[in-house]
Amino acid sequence: MRIALILLISLLTAAGALPLLPQPLSAQQDTRPAIRARLQFARAGGVYDPARWRYTSDWFVYPNLFNWLVRWKPGPDPKELEADLAEKWTVSPDGLVYTFQLRRGVQFHKGLGELTAEDVVFSYQRQISDPQLTFYKALQNIKSVEAVDRYTVRITLKERDAPFMWTVVSYRPGLIVSKKAVEQLAGAFAKGPVGTGPFELVELTAAGEVVVRAHDGYFRGKPAVRQITFVHVGDENTAAAALRRGDLQIIQTRGNPEVVRLLRQDPNIKTARVIERYNLFQVQFGPDFKPAQDVRVRRALAHAIDRRAIAAALPDLDEMAMVMRPPELFGGSSDVPTYPYDPSRARQLLREAGYPSGFPITFMIQKREPETTVAEILAAQWQAVGLQVKLDVLDATTAFDRRDQGKFDITISATSRPGDPHLFFWDVFHSDAVPPYGSNFFHYKDSDVDALIDAGRITINETHRAQIYRALQRKLMTDLPIIPLFYRHLEMAWRSPVQSLTPGAFNMFWGETIKIGR
């Protein structure tokens, strides 16, 4: 028993000897609740300088710390832009000069004063001039950024760029930082960033949490919560259990049907289903997979897919996709060829392509839901039309690596490119977007497609652009370099004291939309 005693003492000593970290400051007399949220699926990057953005999953924190000149309107399917730091803006008729009028009186965190045009110019300039920063290349179409006066900023482009407001100004490269803070803190800025957002960073704890506190000088008004702690929980079941017990007040899940069902049954929990119609799950073909180079084979595989079986396996979680971009989004269209479930047509196409007895497919997937479930269903459906399908289940990093190198026959994965259609179409189908430049994993090369994508970028007239994307989709759905499967879904769930919130696109989290109450 002495051993047990010694162990107990050592345990207590070890626990007591933990380094004491600075405790989050709590505002005096502040009765607003502090909440804990699990939003990202990966551990946080630990670096919160937008110019050194590390992980896509860090979307959960950036919109709370910083603002853009113009932002996507909070919501799951960003269709329009709204004023953020800029009250209004104009674009020159030739589409090259963008002039932004800043809101007056916007305050930076930590008493660093009012935002001026200088800060905006600095935020863009520093990224344009340093190739080591994350968005260096994304900003290279900018010829100049100038402060016209204290509250006016002018950005001049080298060539026309219709999606510029979506891909730069309101997207990751466009977050505005405090010039004074970057100059004073230098390298330490990434761990103690200063923006104008509704929350300011308090600390990154040794326990891996990101703690942010209400910025009461926020120009849209005081946030309803005093503090938000972003917690990393890797396992979805654990996160759901923590929400049910009240250890967490907000969680986001990636659509494990069992978890979602459990949460919806709990009377203390509110849930919101967030369909992201720009977030497309698709079948992708490997560039060296010979059978897929014949369009008849790609069409045969598409006709062999019964989406009802997928919908049944992912009950009301995901919305099936027959087209690449749905008509309710700008640049979307339903006036395109589609490939409904028709196994006999699939067999016929395979015969015509010279594969009467099928061919072997190594189907590479990531080991996570819903990919594994969907892959099992697809494999069975393709086997039913005479193909020999073998599943190759890999961890995400290995799968990414093989995909980027083109070492696979067939895979499924999601492409999430919110906002302007150019992002998605260029990234997946342009011949310049072969990895590492983009996500054209099929190494698809079609001069007509390239021409349409390029025309979509430099055409300023919205009606003309929409026509271009309709034509592009018709061409793509005829040629079928990918097979659209379904649009991704996320589930947000929360409990008291959170009464409501607006879910964001991507993993974006809008802490300012939280409302408190029963």
Residues 124-143 that bind another protein (CB under 8 A): 131-132, 134-138
Rank residues 42 and 451 by Cβ distance to another protein and give the closer one.
42
CA geometry: angle 446, 452, 453, nearest 5 deg: 90
Stretch that binds another protein, among 1-9, 153-161, 280-288, 454-462 (CB under 8 A): 1-9
Among positions 81-110, residues that touch another protein (CB under 8 A) are none
Q: Is 496 in the site for another protein (CB under 8 A)?
A: no
- Contact status: 439 vs another protein (CB under 8 A): yes
- Which residue lies nearer to another protein by CB, 278 or 339? 278
Query: Would you count residue 268 as binding another protein (CB under 8 A)?
Result: no
Choose the binding region for another protein from 75-83, 145-153, 373-381, 432-440 (rule: CB under 8 A): 432-440
3-class SS of residue 81: strand
Q: Is 479 in the site for another protein (CB under 8 A)?
A: no
**Min. distance of Cβ 307 from another protein in angstroms?**
27
Q: By C-beta, is 313 or 414 nearer to another protein? A: 414
Q: What is the dihedral of CA 39, 41, 43, 44, to 10 degrees?
A: -50
User: At closest approach, how far in Å is the CB of 18 from another protein?
Assistant: 5
Which of residues 359 and 494 has its CB atom nearest to another protein in the complex? 494
Query: Which residue in the set 185, 438, 445, 455 belongs to the binding site for another protein (CB under 8 A)?
Result: 438
Q: For residue 368, how many C-alpha atoms fall within 13 Å in the half-sphere facing its CB?
A: 15
Task: Pick the binder of another protein from 112, 241, 313, 466 (CB under 8 A).
Answer: 241
Q: Of 126 and 402, which CB lies nearer to another protein in the complex structure?
A: 402
458 binds another protein (CB under 8 A): no
Site for another protein in 247-266 (CB under 8 A): 247-248
396 near another protein, judged by CB under 8 A: yes
Tell me which long-range contacts 406-409 makes (C-beta under 8 A, separation of at least 24): 406/286, 406/287, 406/288, 406/435, 406/441, 406/443, 407/286, 407/288, 408/286, 408/289, 408/362, 408/364, 409/285, 409/286, 409/289, 409/292, 409/361, 409/362, 409/363, 409/364
DSSP 201-222: EEEE-TTS-EEEEE-TT-TT--
Closer by beta carbon to another protein, 134 or else 431: 134
Let me know: does 215 contact 233? Beta carbons within 8 Å.
Answer: no
Which listed range, 68-76, 78-86, 200-208, 332-340, lies at the site for another protein (CB under 8 A)? 200-208
Q: Are 96 and 160 in contact (CB under 8 A)?
A: yes
Residues 8-47 binding another protein (CB under 8 A) are 8, 10-12, 14-21, 23, 38, 42-43, 45-47
Asked if 267 touches another protein (CB under 8 A), the answer is: no
Distance CA 33, CA 448 (A): 56
As measured in angstroms, the least distance from the Cβ of 347 to another protein is: 36
Q: Does 443 bind another protein (CB under 8 A)?
A: no
The least CB distance from residue 9 to another protein, in Å, is: 10
Site residues for another protein, 160-199, by CB under 8 A, read 167, 172, 190
Q: Alpha helices, DSSP H only, in 218-353?
A: 236-245, 257-265, 295-303, 307-313, 343-352
Phi, psi of 2 (to 5 degrees): -60, -35
d(CA 269, CA 112): 39
Contacts of 481 (CB under 8 A, 6+ apart): 285, 298, 429, 442, 444
| In the complex, minimum distance from the CB of residue 231 to another protein, in angstroms, rounded to a whole number | 7
In the complex, minimum distance from the CB of residue 405 to another protein, in angstroms, rounded to a whole number? 8
> Does position 397 bind another protein by CB under 8 A?
yes
Give the nearest distance from C-beta 99 to another protein in angstroms: 23
> Which residue type occupies 248?
L
Q: Which of 510, 496, 518 is nearest to 249 (CA)?
A: 496
299 binds another protein (CB under 8 A): no
Q: Which is nearer to another protein, 163 or 223 (CB)?
A: 163
Helix-helix angle 421-429:447-458, to 10 degrees: 150
Structure tokens at 52: 């050194």
When the beta carbons of 247 and 479 are compared against another protein, the nearer one is 247
Neighbours of 472 (CB within 10 A): 25
CB of 499 to another protein, least distance (A): 22
Measured from the CB of residue 356, what is the shortest distance to another protein in angstroms? 35
CA distances from 469 to 212, 282, 477 (A): 41, 19, 12
Site residues for another protein, window 50-69 (CB under 8 A)?
A: 53-57
- Tokens, residue 163: 């999606």
Residue 372 engages another protein in binding (rule: CB under 8 A)? no
- Measured distance CA(65)–CA(228) in Å, rounded: 12
Strands (E), 355-409: 360-366, 388-394
Q: Minimum CB separation from another protein for residue 402, in Å?
A: 8
As a dihedral over the C-alpha atoms of residue 12, residue 13, residue 14, residue 19, rounded to 10 degrees, the angle is 120
Nearest approach, Cβ of residue 207 and another protein (Å) = 5
Number of residues that bind another protein (CB under 8 A): 73
Nearest by Cα to 60 from 40, 46, 89: 40
